Amino acid sequence: MPAPEASTQATIERAAALLQAGGVVAIPTETVYGLAASALDPVAVARVFEVKRRPAFDPLIVHVCGEAMLPAVAVGIPDAAYRLMERFWPGPLTIVLRKASGVPGLVTAGTATVAVRSPAHPVARAIIEFAGLPLAAPSANPFGRLSPTRAEHVWRGLGDAVDLIVDGGPAEYGIESTIVTLDPEPTLLRAGAIPPDEIEAVIGPLARGSTPGTDAVPGSAAHHYAPATPVRVVEWDSVPAASRSRAGWLGLRHPAPGYAFSRVLSPSGDLREAAAALFESLHELDERSLERIDVERIPERGIGLAIADRLRRAQASSI
Ligand code: TXA
Ligand code: MG
């Protein structure tokens, strides 16, 4: 089983060589860890689906290193997309564009569009650059489970099914990228690390939509971002003391009395800090054999929109 390897230059070069040879490598990004394969190699991409045990071929995000790699993956890029790239790349914004012919249909689930982002994590950038390849990478978790924010999460979830796990430290954002499309109109497809108002400041109002393979497919949204322990989103004072002793508490600012285990996302109530701690805290609570995890309702503003979205999905899968 390949234990996570520290991201030395030698490991980065080995990761790049494995990817060029059709391998599957878990890489750190600033949002969550990704399970990467060459986006131009359909057999390698098929292995990604196999390793994740995804029951359906949802389209994957293609990771590039800056705009230089774009011609290999996308065509007919609109002006608004360039404005977004200038403002948010490298970083956690994924833009849906018209796909170039070299991108296999398996990456895009047969659609004519491709989701692209240029990650900010220096190790992800180095691996993409060294391999000289765009990388298709979903989050590096088994299908339906929590996204990994540390190399150990990948190791525990996928173990020896991957060729290499590159450890780049804990993820800075801890929540996935924001996804937008511009065609036929600017639309927010997935709330994520970049709050929608920051995007609207660059390109104007965003309509609200959904991504294929999640909300668009009836029922499947429920299986995303879920720990094995049932999750309930609650108000801090709404849970009777008697039902707390075998449950865990995940509060925004404050611990709650009477729970078997209690954890706080951000003592100062900072939503960015809360997002970064979310999946990690849920992983930790999930390991404690609790009957249930009560999570305090998060204010739905800024990055809180993405946190609330992930918690809704975790709760839906618990019913
Ligand atoms: O932060 C992230 O985005 C992480 C890191 C690894 O980059 N990746 C990630 O990938 O969250 P994944 O596979 O867990 O989620 C990809 C999402 C899915 O909801 C999928 O439906 C959407 O991207 N997507 C991919 N291609 C698309 C397309 N052509 N049009 C619309 N949505 C697309
Ligand atoms: Mg995912």
CB 196 less than 6 A from any atom of ligand 1? no
Mutate which of 57, 61, 114, 210 for ligand 1 pocket (most atoms within 8 A of beta carbon) = 61
Q: From start to end of 49-205, where are the E strands? A: 61-63, 74-75, 93-99, 113-117, 135-136, 164-167, 178-181, 187-190
Residue found by looking up tokens 């954890």 in the block: 263
- Condensed to tens digits (0 to 9), the pLDDT of residues 198-221 reads 999 999 999 999 877 544 433 344
All structural domains of the chain: 5-208 (3.90.870.10), 231-317 (3.40.50.11030)
How does pLDDT run across 121-138, given as a tens digit for each residue?
A: 999 999 999 999 999 999
Q: Which pLDDT score is estimated for 266?
A: 95
Res 84 pLDDT > 60: yes
Average pLDDT over residues 12-23: 98
pLDDT at 68: 93
For Cα atoms 304, 121, 47, give the angle at the middle one, nearest 5 degrees.
Answer: 95
Average pLDDT over residues 306-313: 90
Nearest bound ligand to the CA of residue 119: 1
Report whether pLDDT(61) > 70: yes
Whole-model pTM: value is 0.88
Return left, alpha or beta for 219; rule: phi > 0 is left, psi -120 to 50 is alpha, else beta.
left
Tell which atom from ligand 1 comes closest to the C-alpha of 119: 7
Question: Minimum-distance ligand to the CA of 223?
Answer: 2
Ligand 1 center–CA 290 separation, angstroms: 31
Atom of ligand 1 nearest to the CA of 107: 26
Tokens of 300: 């739905």
